Structure 1
Amino acid sequence: MALRILSSRIVRQTGVSLFKVEQVIDFGMHNFKQFILSKSHWNPTTNASVSLHHAQSGSWKAASASEPHLVDSNRGSKIVASYQPEATRERHHLIVESADEQRFEFPLIWLRDNCQCAECFHPKSYSRILNWELFKVDAVAQLREIVLTENGNKLEIIWSDGHRSQYGSEWLLKRSFDNDSKQEYLNEWYRPRPTLWNKHRFGEILENFEFKDVINSDEALLAWIECLIKYGVVMIRNTPLAETEARKLVERVGFIRKTHYGEEYIIKAKEGTSNVAYLSAPLQMHTDLPYYDYLPGCNLLHCLVQSESQGGRNLLCDAFYVAELMREKHPKEFKILSETLVNWTDVGEDEGREFHSIYRAPVICIGRDGNLERINHSVPQRDSFFNVPLASVEPWYRALELFVGLIHREAVQFKTVPGNILTFSNVRMLHGRSGYTDTVANTRHIVGAFLDWDEIYSKWRVLKAKTKK
């Protein structure tokens, strides 16, 4: 995408422009349009100024050697904007215009920090290597000259210290600071916003994938991951009935997440267990391992043998939907559950490993961007130590009562069959199970495994980038 340089601009910390360009400098025209001071933005008390000087040669050049040149190398003409900033701290910006007449503004300090030359950037690792011990904000981001090359497809800056930086127009505009571009990047490459659902929409949102397709096809793998990101739950069908198959699915994405219950874990009714999931009694809805700071992000539950009794039915709820419902309809209770720290704990022994885990976090965790980040809820793993003021205890219980009532109201029930792998987000979904009865001839047998969201998002970006080439 071709660029036109409009101006370098000084912007105060308050965001008020000392000067701005009222009309575009059109490099495609024989008669250049002028810079016009905007009276509404002009502060007469400052020393800032804009000057244009015409040379006898017919080109525009700087009034002094210290002033930056704006050059369109395709026409051999120079445009000069000079300024004398006041003594207070300011930000220097560069404004460019794309071929479709959109304006973009880039801080000079950001441009200098993101120089793409071999001295500053290592392309193989996509890593900045410039020496930040020598990087002085007030010294390095001073312009000497700006040059457009390759028909406006490349921007070259010569800094006051003689260093040269080049930026491809496509690279530059993708990193625009306007709000739409920033949000587009976050949705496109960081973490897309989830689509929340209630129990009435479960039949619409639940996607089914064949195990062999996800194992053998990158296209199917990408589609599965995208559904998992969007809806938080996906069913994999016709998986071979062996305890190693869940691992194969995990390793298509990254690597299995080990916890103090091991890597794969076998869910069968066990006598003398320290984990209520290994009982045949009803299992209340919960998130797994809320006592972990670094919480496993995704569950994979591979059904090898299902109970022939009426029990063993899965319970599942989109807890993000419930949390957003509370934020809208019950803000007081939402605030309590999102701000009150709860002690989550797990003490016991499994396969010879002893453990005592504790983590403190609210039931509803909100990220720094204000979006929902994680749900913590497990009645068995909520500690009896509750380190809150006495006056906060009963209001918290009343808020939790509302939350639990809503998750049960919005829960769906279904029963997996041998060959199903139920995959779901452990930071978003609440899951449980109705009680069941084993017999000598029929023992319910589930193999579980965890996969981290960091690995899921990483694989998603890799696959997505390949499809765009």
Structure 2
Amino acid sequence: METEEGVRVLTDLIRRKGFAFVDGTPYDDPEHTKRLLERIAFIRVTHYGGFYDFTADLAMADTAYTNIALPAHTDTTYFDDPAGLQVFHMLSHEPDATSKDPNALGGESLLVDGFNAALELKRTSTWAYKILTEVPLPWHASGNKGIAITPERTYPVFETAPGNKALLRIRWNNDDRGVVPFHSGCSPVDWYDAARKWNALLEDKRLQYWEQLKPGRTLIFDNWRVLHGRSAFTGKRRICGGYINRNDFMSRWRTLNRTPEEVNRVVIG
């Protein structure tokens, strides 16, 4: 990661596969992980702060600050421009005094390729895919004092590019979702039927990838494409990481993985 070639390979892996691991990240000080993020681009600041370093202490009114299981979801659905990349590095995981088996602490991380799951939904339930693409929903972050964030407009679960209708971005987090509206194309009942189809795919073990994070192995993934979650855990777990803007990630990837002529064609059009 000290070389531009290393960052080129890393950003290309994330761009093509949706996620990547960086092994050998020092974990004696979270500053090492922070510097790793900054090799890609600057860290995005939100109401949670910038670079985060936390335990399950309920310091924020968010399920991430608990030890409960979290289903597959995307982060920052309540921003018009959700975070592009998300980074997790588990610095430590210590059993509590009552634990009988220090090797059974739990907390495995879940990843689901949302684009793959969405295309599977489109193939098997075209009507459900259409509903989740066309019905805009309200999203919000309002659990912390003085915070009431909501996008300037409503957005569907699946956002597609104009013209070719290719999948651009997925928003999915039931803890951030507002009331399902009545829509000219469907009722809330229709939407929930479609959402159940979608959720069943996210829970399909064939589409899930589980990995037990460990100190020294940093996980970086595309928050527009890859949904993440975790199993419940015991003991005290310390996680650090942060967000990176999508445009800044894409700029870094493009300038390292494309020729100047190719970059110019993208910029000029």
* Count of residue pairs the alignment pairs up: 246
Contact (CA 8 Å) 1:340, 1:362: kept in 2 or not? yes
Among residues 15, 18, 41, which one is paired with 1:232 in the alignment? 18
SS in 2 for 1:365: strand
Aligned pairs (5 A) from 1:8-407 = 214=1, 216-241=2-27, 242-271=29-58, 273-306=60-93, 308=102, 309-349=104-144, 354-359=146-151, 360-368=154-162, 369-383=164-178, 385-389=179-183, 392-407=187-202
Is the CA contact (8 Å cut-off) linking 2:91 and 2:215 kept in structure 1? yes
Which residue identity does 2:156 align to in structure 1?
A: P
Q: Which SS does the other structure have where 1:445 is aligned?
A: strand
Partner Cα distance (1:320, 1:400) in 2: 15
CA contact (8 A) 1:306 1:416 kept: no
| Amino acid aligned to 2:161 | G
Post-superposition CA distance 1:49-86 (Å, at most 9, x none): xxxxxxxxxxxxxxxxxxxxxxxxxxxxxxxxxxxxxx
Shift of 1:251: 1.6
Shift of 1:467: 9.3
Q: Matched residues in 1 for 2:183 and 2:4: separation? A: 52
CA distance in 2, matches of 1:434, 1:380: 17
Q: CA deviation at 1:237?
A: 0.9
- SS of 2:188's equivalent? helix
Aligned partners of 2:187 and 2:253: how far apart in 1? 42
Contact residue 267 and residue 448 of structure 1 kept, 8 A: no
How far, CA to CA, are the matches of 2:227 and 2:196 in structure 1? 15
* Residues 393 and 467 (structure 1), Cα distance of their counterparts in 2 relative to 1, 3 Å cut: closer
1:275, 1:257 → 2: CA distance?
18
* Residue of structure 2 equivalent to 1:91: none
Aligned residues of 2:78 and 2:141 also touching (Cα < 8 A): yes
Structure 1 residue 281, shift from structure 2 partner = 1.0
| Richer in helix (by share) | 2
Task: After superposition, give the CA deviation of every residue in 1:315-352 in whole Å (9 maximum; x if it has no partner).
Answer: 11001001111122211000001111111111032xxx
| Rounded Cα–Cα distance in structure 2 between residues aligned with 1:331 and 1:450 | 33
Give the RMSD, CA atoms, in angstroms: 1.9
**1:235: Cα distance to partner?**
0.5
Paired with 1:459 and 1:273, the residues of 2 have a C-alpha distance of 31
Aligned partners of 2:39 and 2:51: how far apart in 1?
15
- The one-letter amino acid paired with 2:22 is I
How far does the alpha carbon of each residue in 1:160-215 deviate from its partner, in whole angstroms, 9 at most, with x for none? xxxxxxxxxxxxxxxxxxxxxxxxxxxxxxxxxxxxxxxxxxxxxxxxxxxxxx2x
TM, length-normalised to structure 2: 0.86
Secondary structure of 1:450's aligned partner:
strand
- Aligned partners of 2:59 and 2:40: how far apart in 1? 35
Residue identity opposite 1:460 in structure 2: W
Give the CA deviation at 1:291.
0.6
Three-state SS of the structure 1 residue aligned to 2:251 is helix
- Deviation per residue, 1:399-457 (Å, 9 max, x gap): 1111011011111212011111100000101100111111xxxx201112011221122
Whole-Å Cα distance in 1 between the matches of residues 258 and 112 of structure 2?
32
Q: CA deviation at 1:466?
A: 6.7
How has the CA–CA distance of structure 1 residues 267 and 284 changed in structure 2, closer, same or farther, with 3 Å as cutoff?
farther
Superposed CA offset, 1:117-141 (max 9, x none): xxxxxxxxxxxxxxxxxxxxxxxxx
SS in 1 for 2:41: coil
Instruction: Return the offset for 1:373.
Output: 0.6
User: How far does residue 389 in structure 1 lie from its aligned partner after superposition?
Assistant: 4.1
Larger relative contact order, structure 1 or 2 (CA cutoff 8 Å, min sep 6): 2
Normalised to the residue count of structure 1, the TM-score between the two structures is 0.50
Shift of 1:221: 0.9
- Aligned residue number for residue 144 of structure 1: none
- How many Å apart are 1:267 and its aligned residue? 3.6
Question: 1:337 is matched by which residue type in structure 2?
Answer: L
What is the CA distance between 1:273 and its match in structure 2? 3.8
Letter in 1 for 2:6: A
2:44–2:245 CA contact under 8 A, matched in 1 = yes
Could you tell me which runs of 5 or more consecutive residues in structure 2 were left unpaired when the two chains were aligned.
95-101, 262-269
8 A contact 1:284–1:379 mirrored in 2: no
* Secondary structure, counterpart of 1:431 in structure 2: strand
SS in 2 for 1:354: coil
- In structure 1, which of residues 440, 444, 459 is the aligned counterpart of residue 252 of structure 2? 459
CA distance in 2, matches of 1:461, 1:299: 19
Amino acid at match of 1:316: L
Paired letter, 2:211: F
| Structure number with bigger Rg | 1
1: distance between equivalents of 2:12 and 2:74?
Answer: 21
- Bigger proportion of residues as strand: 1
